[in-house]
Amino acid sequence: MSNTNDNLALVLSDAIQNNQFDDALVAIKGLRPVDLADVLEQLEPSLGWRLLERLPDRAEVFTYFEPEQQVRLAREFPRATLAALVSEMPADERTDLFKRFDQNQRDALLPALAQAEREDIRKLSAYVEGTAGALMTSDYAVLRKDMTVAEALASLRTEAPDAETIYQAYVIDKKRKLLGVVSLRDLILADLGKSIKELMTSDVVSGLVTDDQEDIAKKIARYDLLALPIADERGVLTGIVTYDDAMDVVSEEVTEDIHKSAGVSTIAGNLKDATIGLLYRKRIFWLILLVFGNLFSGAGIAHFEDIIAANIVLVFFLPLLVDSGGNAGSQSATLMVRALATGEVVMRDWLYLIGREALVALALGCTMALAVSLLGYIRGDSTIALVLALSMVSIVMIGCMIGMSLPFVLSKFNFDPASASAPLITSVCDATGVVIYLFIASQLLDDLAVVPI
């Protein structure tokens, strides 16, 4: 597919430069908007917009471009062309684009738009990022409760071209307060003379403009909705959040959690387009922090240097043991972060979960202890094997307890549980594992002679 797109991009580039737009349109005939966007993104912005403005579905194609590409292309458009394109975009998409523009671009665009569109952009862009208000669209279908089904269907035919979806229509009063919802399916199956008041569902699942966008996405998933109506504090319907926008939020949140779990600050945009400086800034904080955190491991080794000098064989097993604790802790932390993010567990579940985790950790530790003790007996003697077995059980149990509890602690103090990243858990468990291992060794091997490696 990539080679095909590359070849098509070359064909289009030549055709546009030679003003052979009919040939270019023939070459892309039959391509879906999302596939066409992939091809056009490979063209120089100065060429891409010349073809884009001639497409009948240009607004839809434009919405599939990466955000950075949208801004680059927008700089190439004449103001009238850009205004026409923005006017054709869904309300939420054009608002997102407007917020990416610098002040000069905004000042140039707004006067070229119709008043209704200007006011819509100003209203939607005023909401705080990350809230339902910033996510919603104002393109939705509304009905009155005193309409008949026949009148409602006629109204939806009029509203359909501008609405994000007509599968759900929202019933409002004169003050635009949300009264109910009715599905297109119910309208089609109902008698034409039946009133919307009789047909609508009054118990409407809705959200507030101030709700967190992640909570909105969870609500849409929980109730299996195509769209969720969003109201202000007075109950006035102000917009809807559609299922596809909610899924975009879920994808963003999962990506953010994955980045945090690796000790990386969230990277906005495409990783391929990220600069070296940006990648450096997003990663250096945790790495520097963990460098100092790892000093505790060195301090633990220094404290027990006598027992290490007397039993050099201990060094052979040190990485194995501390890594096992870090791995077990990372597993527990990953499970807990995801469970907290999806709402499967809450703070009050901590005692139950830590008790169950202790049993799981004990079983894991004993199994791993059996394997490592055999190695200890081969490389040392029965005492070394005992040290390794006890250390492995203790380190794995402590690692699991830390890994499971840290996300809860962070959540308790209103931090993102995903901050309990794998590098953080590993560093904490490493330092703890070193101390546990060498402490047990010091208690059991104090009076023993040097054990050859």
For the cut 60, the answer to whether the pLDDT of residue 2 exceeds it is no
Whether 210 is covered by a domain: the verdict is yes
Q: Are residues 312 and 173 in the same domain?
A: no
| Higher-confidence position of 270 and 377 | 377
- Domain co-membership, 348 together with 387: yes
Rounded Cα distance between 408 and 422, Å, is 15
pLDDT averaged over every residue in the chain:
83
Residue 97 forms part of a structural domain: yes
**How confident is the model over 408-425, as a mean pLDDT?**
71
Q: How far apart are CA 90 and CA 165, in angstroms?
A: 11
Q: State which H helix or E strand residue 238 sits in.
A: strand 237-242
Task: Give dist(CA 367, CA 365) in Å, integer.
Answer: 5
Tell me whether residue 450 is in a domain.
no
Exposure string over 411-440, b if 16+ CB within 10 A, otherwise e:
beeeeebbbbbbbbbbbbbbbbbbbbbbbb
Based on the domain organization, do 111 and 7 belong to the same domain? yes
pLDDT score at 229: 93
CA distance 267 to 67: 14
| pLDDT for the residue 241 | 92
Averaged over 53-68, what is the pLDDT?
86
For the entire predicted model, the pTM comes to 0.62
- Residue 62: give the domain boundaries: 2-129
User: Does 203 lie in the same domain as 123?
Assistant: no
- Note the pLDDT tens digit of each residue in 174-218: 999 999 999 999 999 999 999 999 999 999 999 999 999 988 988
- CATH number, domain at 217? 3.10.580.10
Contact residues for 309 (Cβ-Cβ < 8 A; gap 6+): none
Amino acid 76: pLDDT: 81
113 and 174 part of one domain: no
Residues 124 and 57 in one domain: yes
Same domain, 211 and 300: no
Tens of pLDDT, residues 322-375: 888 888 888 888 888 778 777 788 888 888 888 999 999 999 999 999 988 888
Residue 263 lies in a domain: no
- pLDDT tens for each residue of 283-308: 777 677 767 766 777 777 777 778 87
Task: Give me the pLDDT at residue 403, please.
Answer: 86
Q: Which of 201, 218, 243 is the last residue in one of the domains?
A: 243
**End position of a domain, from candidates 243, 270, 303:** 243
Same domain flag for 188 and 82: no
The one-letter code for the residue type at 381 is: D
Among 303, 244, 306, 338, smallest CA distance to 436 is for 303
**Domain of 430: which CATH number?**
1.10.357.20
* Residue 270 maps to a domain: no
Higher pLDDT among residues 261 and 32, named by residue: 32
Instruction: For the chain, give the percent of residues with pLDDT over 90.
Output: 21
Position 267 in a domain: no
Query: Does residue 287 form part of some domain?
Result: no
Instruction: Give yes or no: residues 89 and 180 share one domain.
Output: no
Instruction: Among 181, 214, 243, identify where a domain stops.
Output: 243
Structure tokens at 232: 């202000």
Q: What is the pLDDT of residue 361?
A: 92
Under DSSP, is residue 450 helix (H, G, I), strand (E, B) or coil? coil
Is 212 contained in some domain? yes
Domains in the chain, number = 3
Question: In terms of Cα–Cα distance, which of 360, 425, 364 is closest to 392?
Answer: 364
Whether residue 60 is found in the same domain as residue 177: no
Query: Of the candidates 137, 126, 334, 127, which has an alpha carbon nearest to the alpha carbon of residue 248?
Result: 137
* Predicted local confidence at residue 421, as pLDDT: 59
Instruction: Report whether pLDDT(36) > 60.
Output: yes
Q: Would the pLDDT of 264 be above 70?
A: no
Instruction: Say if residue 122 is in the same domain as residue 151.
Output: no
Q: Which amino acid is at 63?
A: T
pLDDT of residue 221 exceeding 50: yes
Q: Are 398 and 432 a contacting pair, CB within 8 Å? A: yes
Quick one: average pLDDT of 225-245?
A: 90
Tokens representing 332?
């527990």
Rounded to 5 degrees, φ, ψ at 183 are: -90, 155
Residues in contact with 290: Cβ distance below 8 Å, sequence separation at least 6, in sequence order: 263, 423, 424, 427
Question: CA 101, 103, 105: angle at the middle one, nearest 5?
Answer: 55
Are 107 and 190 in the same domain?
no
- pLDDT score of 35 more than 60: yes
Question: Is pLDDT of 6 > 50?
Answer: yes
Window from 3-7, 125-129, 223-227, 341-345 with minimum mean pLDDT: 3-7
Q: What is the mean pLDDT of residues 110-119?
A: 87
Q: Check which CATH number belongs to the domain holding 24 and give it.
A: 1.25.60.10
